[in-house]
Amino acid sequence: MDGTITRANLLFCKWVGHPAADLVGKRRFQDLLTVGGRIFHQTHWVPLLQMQGSLSEVKLELVVRDGAVVPIVMNALVRLDHGVAVHEIAAYVARDRDKYERELVLSRKRLEDLVAQATRLQADARDRADFAEQMMGIVSHDLRNPLSSIQMSAALLARSDLALSQQRTLARLNRSTERATRLISDLLDFTQARLGRGLAVSMVGIDLHACVAETIEELRHIHPARALNHERVGDGQCVGDADRLAQMVGNLVSNAMTYGLAEEPVTVVSAIEPTKFTVSVRNMGAPIPAEVQAALFQPMTRGSSAGARERSVGLGLYIVSEIAKAHSGGVAVRSLPGEGTTFTVVCPRHAAPD
């Protein structure tokens, strides 16, 4: 009962590296265990055997003669040997089981580390999203107001009797202000979309052709030196957000003006069909490489390095895609040599509200 070894077979002696003569009557079983095993032997092994008379599948580690550690699994029971209570132990080496258990522990630790890392990353992402939203709010307030003042001042100056050179300067001022305003709008929309909220739309019955025509008329003032055509197909109303569709057309036309040949016209086609409506914008110029087309509608993506001075931060086509999604539709591009490049937005027409 005190752990003194009274009998040990040859295999056990080989495991621990001691002959039976060095073990029997001279060593205690618990002395062959690791420190943790000795504590377990005292606090669990002996009390449990006293209470229930047996133990099954107990894993401990033996410290062999050369100092190495051998994992073993033991079963034990209490029996009487000539009237004396002894612990009879059957054991087997469990290196594979020990390796498996250690791998499980390591895997669990790695999983816990990954979960903790993912939690930190999620918290960082939320912090960055909140910061981005706050920054966009600041941009909206602190830049839109002075730009509005500049536009109003330019409009007042335009009513004055200005020299030709002054009129040209004023026109450049208006164009720069318009670009800055569009950039701010794109940044705000980009932030809203990336935060997972999608673009806000107000879906009502609209005249698609009239909406596109009005937008094109404004764009002609922004690009007075370029030919901009509008073709209408079909009749009737559709359901959509007129302001968002105007923004979409503006982005597509701006993209076409930037990358298309200056001497060739840009053509916008608005079409009403029984179940859908489409808006397409076509320009002539070098085709967009096929490997670039797949990523065109991702943020910060551009079709080429041409026209760098005229372009913004590469959000225009991404915003177009988000506007199409907000209308339950999509956008596609077709670009071939000699045919030009055409961006087409297709959305459900829906039924016009009564």
Beta bridge partners of 77: 54, 88
Asked if pLDDT for residue 39 goes beyond 90, the answer is: yes
Same domain, 188 and 208: no
The count of residues in the chain is 354
Which of 194, 219, 248 lies at the terminal end of a domain, its last residue?
194
Same domain, 173 and 51: no
Same domain, 165 and 39: no
Residue 324's pLDDT is: 94
As a 3-state breakdown, the chain gives helix, strand, coil percent values, each rounded to 5, of 50, 20, 30
Same domain, 84 and 123: no
Average pLDDT, the chain: 86
Digit-coded pLDDT (tens) for 272-321: 999 999 999 999 999 999 888 888 888 766 555 444 444 445 678 988 99
Same domain, 182 and 221: no
pLDDT classification of 174: cutoffs 50, 70, 90: confident
pLDDT classification of 351: cutoffs 50, 70, 90: low
Asked if pLDDT for residue 352 goes beyond 70, the answer is: no
Residue 263's pLDDT is: 93
Same domain, 316 and 216: yes
Contacts of residue 241, defined as CB under 8 A and 6 or more positions apart, other chains included, come to: 201, 202, 203, 204, 206, 326, 327
Same domain, 243 and 296: yes
Same domain, 181 and 253: no
Written as one letter, the residue type at 140 is S
Residue 289 has phi, psi (to 5 degrees) of -55, 145
Distance, CA of 251 to CA of 319 (rounded, Å): 8
* CATH of residue 129: 1.10.287.130
* CATH of residue 15: 3.30.450.20
Digit-coded pLDDT (tens) for 7-31: 999 999 999 999 999 999 999 999 9
Answer for the pair 285, 344: CB distance below 8 angstroms, yes or no: no
Residue 125's pLDDT is: 83
Mean pLDDT, range 148-175, rounded to an integer: 83
Which of 166, 194, 222 lies at the terminal end of a domain, its last residue?
194
Digit-coded pLDDT (tens) for 109-155: 889 999 999 999 888 888 887 777 677 667 666 777 778 888 888 88
Q: Is 260 inside a domain boundary? A: yes
Same domain, 187 and 306: no
3: left (phi over 0), alpha (psi -120 to 50) or beta: left
Residue 302's pLDDT is: 57
Residue 303's pLDDT is: 55
The structural domain count of the chain equals 3
Same domain, 64 and 185: no
Distance, CA of 211 to CA of 207 (rounded, Å): 6
pTM value is: 0.54
Same domain, 23 and 130: no
Digit-coded pLDDT (tens) for 44-80: 989 999 999 999 999 899 999 888 998 899 999 999 9
* CATH of residue 226: 3.30.565.10
Answer for the pair 304, 286: CB distance below 8 angstroms, yes or no: yes
Residue 149's pLDDT is: 81
Q: Is 98 inside a domain boundary? A: no
**Domain, as residue range, for 216:** 204-348
Mean pLDDT, range 334-339, rounded to an integer: 92
* More reliable by pLDDT, 278 or 193: 278
Residue 25's pLDDT is: 93
